Amino acid sequence: MTRAFAMIMAGGLSEDLSVLTEVRSEPAVPFGGKFRLIDFPLSNCVNSDIYNVAVLTQYKPRSLNDHIEIGKPWDLDRASGGVRLLQPYRGGPYGDWQRGTADAVRRNLDFVELQSEEHILILAGDHIYLMDYRPMLHQHLQTKADLTVAVRRVNLYETHRFGIVSVGSEQRIADFQEKPKRTRETLASMGIYIFRKQALIDILQDTDYVDFGKNVLPAMLKGSGEVYAYPFPGYWADVGTVQAYWEANMSLLSESPALDLYDPEWVVHTRSQERAPSKIGPNAHVEGNLLSNGCRVYGEVQRSVLSPGVYVAEGAIVRDSVILNDTSIEAGAVVDRCIIDKGVTVRAGAKVGDGEDNTPNTDMPEQINTGLTLVGKGCVIPENMVIGRNVVIHPFCGEEAFGKRKKVASGKSIGKNLR
């Protein structure tokens, strides 16, 4: 079978993820305890026998670069092919900041033209799913398509978040609407594309198209290109909002989660740190959680996802929360319905996510309004501080950022946005 090489779009900024993407790019956001979002497309590639992968970066890439390095966890540290990090650059006909997904590929057309494979797999670096790309590539070759788009059904009330396609006979795409306000169609583009290489080069060289969804796909439908849909029946999540991110983490706690991270036939590879095993104290109460290596739990943890190195002291309570690496929750503290980034200290007796007041966040009322409270990387929550619902504590806020206040009301924000 003719092979494809992959290009993963990993340079975008998602403001809807609030504090999580103030310090890192979206694909570098931790997920499910020990993973990062980029681990899923990278693992899907190698599990699909695709070992020539380029990762296109731009926004705050240091954490992502450190995570991928030379690609050893994914068996991508190879002399031929392997993984390459393509950074923005100045100079030449295409050098400059990337304005979108299609523009990012255009600015790396010299790399594209050098690859021996005849087809290009374009992937998003911030989606969560387990997918074998080989059946999609097989259909792409059988139909002699210029472009094949992976699609799946979504809830009618979520169609405004996606590009929506209409499919005719033999899975040929007849129409495409980018994030329609109203539609009866529910077949959404997953942002996974296979292009015939020369077709992609031709359309990018001769145009100024910025995005694949907004520009390239509609243009190919209007032109003479052969464009087909590939239905994908499995689990897939776009976690580009705080609520979607929290829900995707919480879904892992169900008895039979739709995303099976324990399938030995489809391993999700990641760069793992060597840490001691998890430790549960003699008086701890642990119920329905994911606990990563290095966690030490002496208090109460319910329905939560804890990343490596999290410490929960005796007398502390954590409920319905996502707690990232090396966060410390001291005695008597209560954390309820929160997303807490790396290296945070919640001092003794503090309450984070407190009360029944569900006032939306004043800075992000459309995105943060369901009662989730967010604490950014490296923050210190003072002793006995009470923090309400829908609160955003921006990264690296020390105790001085709270001043003399003893309470942060629901919907408020503390600290400065680092973007």
Render pLDDT for 51-77 as a digit per residue (tens, 0 to 9).
999 999 999 999 999 999 999 999 999
CA distance linking residue 28 with residue 24, whole number of Å: 6
The pLDDT of residue 2: 54
pLDDT at 27 over 90: yes
Report how far apart, in Å, the C-alpha atoms of 315 and of each of 5, 91, 350, 406 are. 52, 58, 12, 21
Please indicate, yes or no, if residue 385 is contained in any of the structural domains.
Answer: yes
| Alpha helix (H) residue ranges in 30-151 | 39-47, 62-68, 101-106, 109-114, 134-143
* CATH number of 177's domain: 3.90.550.10
The pLDDT of residue 93: 79
pLDDT at 41 over 60: yes
pLDDT at 337 over 50: yes
Please enumerate, as own/partner, the contacts of 134-141 that have beta carbons within 8 Å and a separation of 24 or more.
134/1, 134/48, 134/49, 135/230, 136/192, 136/194, 136/230, 136/232, 137/1, 137/2, 137/4, 137/194, 138/1, 139/171, 139/228, 139/230, 140/194, 140/228, 140/230, 141/1, 141/2
Query: Structural domain tally of the chain?
Result: 2
Please indicate, yes or no, if residue 343 is contained in any of the structural domains.
Answer: yes
- 234/108 same-domain check: yes
Please indicate, yes or no, if residue 323 is contained in any of the structural domains.
Answer: yes
Q: How confident is the model at residue 1 (pLDDT cuts 50, 70, 90)?
A: very low
* CATH number of 383's domain: 2.160.10.10
What's the residue count for the chain?
419
- 290/213 same-domain check: no
- 175/221 same-domain check: yes
Please indicate, yes or no, if residue 270 is contained in any of the structural domains.
Answer: no
Please indicate, yes or no, if residue 269 is contained in any of the structural domains.
Answer: no
Angle at 24 between CA 51 and CA 401, to 5 degrees: 165
- 87/195 same-domain check: yes
- 288/237 same-domain check: no
What is the average pLDDT score of the chain?
Answer: 94
Please indicate, yes or no, if residue 320 is contained in any of the structural domains.
Answer: yes
Domain that holds residue 360: 279-414
Contact 165, 229 (CB under 8 A): yes
Structure tokens at 397: 């806020």
| Alpha helix (H) residue ranges in 144-214 | 197-205
| Alpha helix (H) residue ranges in 176-304 | 197-205, 217-222, 242-251
Query: How many beta carbons lie within 10 A of that of residue 13, not counting itself?
Result: 14
pLDDT at 124 over 90: yes
Q: Which residues, listed in sequence order, are joined to residue 236 by a DSSP beta bridge?
A: 129
pTM over 0.85: yes
Structure tokens at 77: 């540290």
Going by C-alpha positions, the residue among 59, 83, 66, 54 that lies closest to residue 11 is 59
pLDDT digits (tens, 9 = 90+) for 141-158: 999 999 999 999 988 888
Is 148 strand, coil or helix? Answer: strand
CA distance linking residue 133 with residue 219, whole number of Å: 25
- 182/297 same-domain check: no
- 173/299 same-domain check: no
Please indicate, yes or no, if residue 265 is contained in any of the structural domains.
Answer: no
- 347/218 same-domain check: no
- 223/359 same-domain check: no
Please indicate, yes or no, if residue 256 is contained in any of the structural domains.
Answer: no
- 49/193 same-domain check: yes
- 220/100 same-domain check: yes
Query: How many beta carbons lie within 10 A of that of residue 172, not counting itself?
Result: 14
Contact 187, 242 (CB under 8 A): no
- 244/304 same-domain check: no
pLDDT digits (tens, 9 = 90+) for 239-288: 989 999 999 999 999 999 999 999 999 999 999 888 999 999 999 999 99
Going by C-alpha positions, the residue among 190, 243, 175, 197 that lies closest to residue 17 is 243
